[in-house]
Amino acid sequence: MEHVTASEELSATLMYHVERPVLNEGYIDSELLHRKKRTPKSFQRRIAEHLRCSSEKAKSVVFGFLPILTWLPSYPLKQYLFGDIVSGISTGVMQLPQGLAYAMLAAVPPVFGLYSSFYPVLLYTFFGTSKHISIGTFAVISLMIGGVAVREAPDSMFAVNGTNASQIVDFEARDARRVEVVVALTTLVGIIQFVLGLLRFGFLAIYLTEPLVRGFTTAAAVHVSVSQIKYLLGVHTARFNGPLSVVYSLDAVFRNIASTNVVTLIIGLVCSVFLYFIKDLNERFKKKLPIPIPGEIIVVIVSTGISYGMVMSENYGVEVVGKIPTGLLPPKIPDFSVFPSLFPDAFTIAVVGFSIAISLAKIFALKHGYSVDGNQELIALGLCNFMSSFFHTFAVTASMSRSLVQESTGGHTEIAGLLASLLVLLVVVAIGFVFQPLPTTVLAAIIMVNLLGMFKQMKDIPALWRTSKIELAIWLVSFFASVLLGLDYGLVVAMSFAILTVIYRTQCPKNALLGQIPDTGLYFDVDEYEEAEECSGIKIFQSNTSMYFANSDLYVSALKAKTGIDPAKLLAARKSQLKYAKRDNGERKAVHHYPPVKKNAVVLLDVELGVTHEVVAGAKKQMDHVYTNGQMTENHTESESEDDFFLQRLTPIHTIILDFTPVNFIDSVGAKTIKSVIKEFATVDVKVVLAGCSRTLLSDLRTLKFFFEPVTPDLIFPTIHDAVLHCKHSRDVPICPDVQ
């Protein structure tokens, strides 16, 4: 019975007293616990229940598929509308230049960035569950898309007259083919995300751990920055893709650096400094400014006006955006023939895009007290990419910078994103041609300044060095693999390494011997806490890992090393001692001719341990034993015989308790290993018991046929303290004189 007493004073310490018998799993399973009777449902019945339709179920499915129906009818106009309008305009103004700029990363004409800033954002309003993320173009995804486009439609495919240095490229045909590839890739990305959402694979993002994603996005920032250097300098180089593309790109830029367009460089540097200054002002005075200063749109408008007035493209050779068609293009069916070659890239982009979006969505949901559905987010992104691809867009995800602007300027719902998309539509339909004189170096400056936030993730390195070396290794591997091998191969390497670290943690767990804190039932590491005292004759071993095929042998090795007991070595030592005892005994008999002593031998079978003990009755001998931890040295008198050696204990430890509290699962190899440990230690009269097994683990052990002689449920105890009390007072095991 449990009694809980508390003093009337608030400062009094709560106490509890429990008095019960020592329990083992044999008694618990047969007497203490009784399973609830449940009738398992047949497979046909489960399918029928799943497919059964009702009004409530239909309503739930519709509302889950279209989350807008859950919040739009109760939308509070007076409270939310003004904030959403301000937020929508601010985000839209930011989305315009970013759409133009990120289209360059995707290796398609700038106008397709505007399309990608309209259609997906509009669709996400209806299908998304996050109220604050801004869907649209994003640097990392755009760069990955551009890599695929360049690989599938390189400049060499569109050479007009000859090759080598005299090669002329048909840019119009090249861009048209790249648009076809990008649109097909976006369609495939949407299909993959939609199917994964239907299959409830929203948990997929958990395999992209935060250090991995941050290292990966920092590496992507390096790729993006390197790809924009040529636009900042105004030099013409080929676009590289694949392993060491960063090295090749830098080499190409430095080889052509003598042809730098000075005017282009000056424009780019001035725009970069101005944008950095504006971003710094927005950050410093974000609490005082009603809305952030739209530095990007200011730069775009001013530089476009100056470029148009000075005719920079003709007079100074400054490269400009070029033709931007007014209006929307009619829908077109993607080229399905390229799907097989694009599938690996599409899957990578789908997973990375979803991971970025769900990470941002969860941050804002936690901050504002609502929930997001990972599976519905997959479906929403899939529909945004799939349906928009028919209107000439490329794959999108959530943007970090725009999402922060949308949230900080007062956005409350997806209405802000809807208004931002309508602003982009207005530009595309009415005034898109205005941006034709915009220098591309301005877009490069916008991209590079926006990457500063990603480069700040370098600060993770010293922080992770202090907190977790393994997570630091994941970050560094993700970063260097992605920089050197490319974003696609780098992500695969990083994910593989992250999984290997999980295996490493199970291979190198912390092993400890536990001791009791006096007058409590608590047990802690004796090497760490001076209050922890080992129980006499008992070793309590804990390994902070689960048991499976990869670490079973390591578990046994650690057990023998920590306890200092190796049955094989002890038996070998006994065999050697017996050999010398026989020789010495024979020599003494030959010299002194002692009369034989009659002895009676009785064989006792310990069924539980499966060990046979031979007890020899005869004349008493005087023996002097010296025990060490797992080893024994002896001083023999002249009357000692080989039978006495057989009767001596090989170690003062009579019981080992395996603490299974940290063990989450065990496989067949692990179960066989524990069983063999119990049998092996029994050969040297050391009993092995288990403590702290969860009900799930016990169920696994029963499934694995673990409980057969000599192992029974009576060797399993619910707590370490139960096991210690049992072992101290058990009659089945000889107790050392100092054990009470």
| Residue 198 or 734, more confident | 198
Q: What is the pTM of this model?
A: 0.76
Residue 501's pLDDT band (cuts 50, 70, 90): very high
What token pair was written down for 96?
A: 């315009």
Residue 277's pLDDT band (cuts 50, 70, 90): very high
| Domain extent listing, the chain | 77-458, 511-568+649-730
Helices and strands, number each (H, E), in the chain: 29, 14
Q: Give the other-Cβ count within 10 Å of 9's Cβ.
A: 6
| Residue 699 or 401, more confident | 699
- Give yes or no for residue 547 having a pLDDT over 70: yes
The answer to whether 385 and 115 are in contact (CB under 8 A) is: no
- Give yes or no for residue 738 having a pLDDT over 60: no
- Give yes or no for residue 452 having a pLDDT over 70: yes
Residue 572's pLDDT band (cuts 50, 70, 90): confident
Tokens 């034989």 belong to residue = 596
Q: Which of 382, 425, 325 is nearest to 192 (CA)?
A: 382
Task: Domain 511-568+649-730: state its class.
Answer: alpha beta
Judged on CB neighbours under 10 Å (0-12, 13-18, 19+), 20 is exposed
pLDDT in tens, 74-123: 999 888 998 899 889 989 888 888 898 899 889 999 899 999 999 999 99
Question: How are beta strands 611-617 and 687-691 bridged, if at all?
Answer: unpaired
The answer to whether 264 and 233 are in contact (CB under 8 A) is: yes
Q: Which of 493, 454, 489 is nearest to 473 (CA)?
A: 493
Instruction: Say what percent of the chain tops pLDDT 70.
Output: 87
Residue 496's pLDDT band (cuts 50, 70, 90): very high
Q: Which of 678, 162, 136 is nearest to 393 (CA)?
A: 136
The answer to whether 710 and 512 are in contact (CB under 8 A) is: no
- Give yes or no for residue 626 having a pLDDT over 80: no
Q: What is the mean pLDDT of the chain?
A: 84
| Residue 643 or 709, more confident | 709
Amino acid in the structure at residue 279 = K
The answer to whether 315 and 321 are in contact (CB under 8 A) is: no
Q: 636 by DSSP, 3-state: which?
A: coil
pLDDT for res 61: 84
Mean of pLDDT values over 558-576: 89
The alpha carbon of residue 595 and the mean position of all alpha carbons in its chain are separated, in whole angstroms, by 76
Q: Which of 181-195, 382-396, 449-463 has the lowest mean pLDDT?
A: 449-463
Dihedral sign for Cα atoms in the order 317, 321, 325, 330: positive
What token pair was written down for 647?
A: 């009767």
Measured CA distances, 313 to 31, 238, 319 (Å): 90, 21, 6
pLDDT for res 303: 93
- Give yes or no for residue 498 having a pLDDT over 70: yes
Mean of pLDDT values over 16-40: 83
Residue 130's pLDDT band (cuts 50, 70, 90): very high
pLDDT in tens, 589-605: 665 555 554 444 333 33
| Residue 394 or 293, more confident | 394
Tokens 């939310």 belong to residue = 80
**Cα angle for residues 190, 195, 198 (degrees, 5° grid):** 125
pLDDT for res 634: 45
Listed in sequence order, the DSSP H helices in 508-595 are 552-563, 567-592
Q: 624 by DSSP, 3-state: which?
A: strand
pLDDT for res 506: 83
pLDDT in tens, 666-695: 999 999 999 999 999 998 889 999 999 999
Residue 638's pLDDT band (cuts 50, 70, 90): very low
Residue 622's pLDDT band (cuts 50, 70, 90): very low
Helix axis angle, 339-368 relative to 139-152, nearest 10°?
180
Buried b (16+ CB within 10 A) or exposed e, 58-67: eeeeeeeeeb
- Give yes or no for residue 23 having a pLDDT over 50: yes
Residue 37's pLDDT band (cuts 50, 70, 90): confident
pLDDT in tens, 224-269: 899 889 989 989 888 887 888 899 999 999 999 999 999 999 999 9
- Give yes or no for residue 725 having a pLDDT over 80: yes
- φ, ψ for residue 159, nearest 5 deg: -70, 135
Judged on CB neighbours under 10 Å (0-12, 13-18, 19+), 31 is exposed
- Give yes or no for residue 641 having a pLDDT over 60: no
Residue 736's pLDDT band (cuts 50, 70, 90): very low
Measured CA distances, 649 to 212, 249, 487, 584 (Å): 54, 74, 63, 21
Helix axis angle, 400-408 relative to 77-105, nearest 10°?
160
Tokens 């190198």 belong to residue = 508
| Residue 162 or 417, more confident | 417
The answer for residues whose C-beta is within 8 angstroms of residue 577's C-beta and 6 or more apart is: 634, 645
Mean of pLDDT values over 274-293: 87
Instruction: Say what percent of the chain tops pLDDT 90.
Output: 44
Buried b (16+ CB within 10 A) or exposed e, 623-646: eeeeeeebebeeebeeebbbbbbe
